[in-house]
Amino acid sequence: MRGLDDTDREILRLLLEDARRPYSDIAETVDLSAPAVSDRVERLQEIGLIDRFTLDVDRSMLREGTPVLIELTPRPDATEVSGSLAEASAVEHVFQTADGTVLVVAHVDRRNVREFLGEQLDLTALEAIDVQMLADSQWTPQLGTGELAPACAECGNTVTSEGETATLGGDVYHFCCPSCEDTFVNRYEELAEGASG
């Protein structure tokens, strides 16, 4: 599996600034042809680094409620708190910390926050709720200097440039070595045969 080079990084930075930027504009900046830029973007999509091209809506331009930061402490057995909240249309971001705390940025209308949360999940799943009104919120995803390092679909190890990539059933999987790829692909094919037979 090929890693990221400086040209890939520059293409990603340009797309982070404006995902609708024409490939011809990107090509001028990175000194490639537009078809070469398209090929690189396709490769980054195929390996799963680019998941989708999204729209960033400035919610401050909409009248839709009060922006709040909600900190939730779920009970130890409450595993679906962040997933349930991520589905709510009023929720902009959901973060889960390593200790299990869930942070939510939401725009809550005239209902109080407890009522809003009660519509999304079982409040008995929470030990504590803390709410603060937000004065401002900015979301600026950055590429940074990280190296391409997906997890092996078979063993969980980091996949390096010597790794393998396979597409099965339309999904892309990364493997740290040919042995892991063979094991995973064989099991996948056996399950697929069992499901169809």
pLDDT digits (tens, 9 = 90+) for 113-131: 889 899 998 898 899 999 9
Residues 93 and 35 in one domain: no
Asked if residue 92 belongs to a domain, the reply is yes
The CA R_g of the chain, rounded to the nearest whole Å, is 21
Q: What is the CATH number of the domain that holds 184?
A: 2.30.170
- Domain CATH code at residue 75: 3.30.70.920
**Do 36 and 75 have their domain in common?**
no
On whether residue 36 sits in a domain, the answer given is yes
- 57 in any annotated domain: no
Quick: pLDDT tens for 151-195. Answer: 899 999 998 888 888 888 888 899 999 999 999 999 999 888 887
Is the pTM higher than 0.75? The answer reads no
Residues for the chain: how many in total?
A: 197
Q: What is the pLDDT of residues 12-36, one digit of tens each?
A: 989 988 888 999 999 999 999 999 9
> Per the domain annotation, does 26 fall within a domain?
yes
End of a domain among 133, 159, 185?
Answer: 133
Question: Has residue 43 been placed in a domain?
Answer: yes
Q: Are residues 76 and 128 in the same domain?
A: yes
Say which residue the tokens 């709510």 belong to: 88
**Distance, C-alpha 25 to centroid of its chain:** 26
What letters, b where the CB count within 10 A reaches 16 and e where it falls short, cover 145-154? eeebebebbb
Verify that 35 and 2 share a domain, yes or no: yes
17 lies in which domain range? 1-49
